[in-house]
Amino acid sequence: MASHIIDFLLIGNNFGTPEMRGVWSEQNRLKQQVQVEVALAQAEGELGVIPAEAARAIVERADPTLLDIDEIAQQGAQMKHSLMPTLIALQKQCGEAGEFIHYGATTQDIVDTATVLQLRDAFAIIQRDAVALAQELAGVARRYQHTPMTGRTHGMQALPTTFGFKVAVWLDEFVRHLTRLSEIKPRTLTGNINGAISTYASFGPQGPEVEKRTLDILGLATPTIGWQSARDRFSEFASVAALISGTLGKIGNELYNLMRSEINEIEEPFSAGKIGSTTMPHKRNPAALEGLASLTAPVLKSAALIYESMHVEHERDAMSWRAEWIALPEICIYLSAQLQNAIAIMRGMTVNEARMRQNLDMQGGLLLSEKVMFELGKKLGKQTAHHVVYECAMQAYEQRRDFKETLRAHPQMDNSISDDELNAWLDPVNYLGSAPRKVDEVIAAAQVSGLLERRS
């Protein structure tokens, strides 16, 4: 019976993907722990730490798919130990060779390294989906590179921009996230096989070679020194995951606001039969956008829990350790849902270009007060022009008058300015600055970095 919302049949896919849940399932956790034990035995056999024939038998016979997880769980409850019942089951599987299972290792060696194997699979999913989302963002930025819309500061209309420019800012953020993922990958995907307090004493003089060979077999990096009491690797991963989630939450919240009925500049993907409300049949709610934005808070809270695990008593304890077992799966699972959701939104989102234009014009030209000020400043001086335009803007706003009309009526307005000239100043399309060019530059930079494919 599922007791965590991640695993609910009805709504679990709103909080994670089946693929990522599989990575962090109990069955996969057991599988990866057995994989570490087998690699350890293989390495020890090759180095002569245990008999070669015993190592071969362990490699051939140890099979996590044949282990009875229910029986192991029952024994674990009795023994009050998370790994010992698995070792007993493996010993039984391997016969006499089972005497050499787990030779020289400590529980945390196996659990930590198995967790890194799970994290490697999760890392690959996150990287794959982050790249896919970056590609979608690049496509949307390019498609709406010249589509004018209102830029807003403090929630209020500020100046014209383009929708493509807005999306390019998100793309640039994701390029940095992809760079961060690439940079932390070798540090994150580092195993740990060095005994009870990381001194290799139980392995004998070949301890460091045992570790390196085991981790080479598993395809993981070898640490310079044991990290049982140094948990920064997981915290660094959590930090980057939190940054990615933060960007995704911001995108979801921004599009949520742009979808408001009163703004109506975008709409999330809609499919026939989608229900917005049980009582209001007309509702087309931003359910996907709410889902995207809502998962950032849990990721941030789980990241904070990971940071708690950096506080370790002496050479090792299990108090901080358990926080990682809770938080790492949740971070990855929530983030997987966000990434998949964001990809679908970008692929199916409707952009209401006509409404964007209407919203640009809704204040009767006030949106272009800065443009008017700078143009008028060429004749009156910038500071004087600011005072003139401010007076006209306040009159237009408070008296519900046309901005152009108040400008024309101001005694300091230069009468040599023609209507055509003033109309050009008040046209939002003429005050987009370098927004379209910056879209090109962001996409080009992403492609040059190798983090984004070149598409025609």
Please give the positions annotated as active site. 154, 277
Full DSSP string of 141-198:
HHHTTT-EEEEEETTEEEEEEEHHHHHHHHHHHHHHHHHHHHHHHHHHSB-----TTS
- Using CA atoms, how far apart are residues 368 and 402, in angstroms rounded to an integer? 13
Q: Containing H/E element for 116?
A: helix 107-143
- Count of beta carbons in the 10 Å neighbourhood of residue 318: 11
8 A C-beta contact, residue 211 and residue 289: no
Full DSSP string of 336-400:
HHHHHHHHHHHHH-EE-HHHHHHHHHTTTTGGGHHHHHHHHHHHH-HHHHHHHHHHHHHHHHHHT
The token pair at 145 is 């590179």
8 A C-beta contact, residue 257 and residue 183: no
Helix pair angle (107-143, 232-258), 10° resolution? 30
Identity of the amino acid at 10:
L
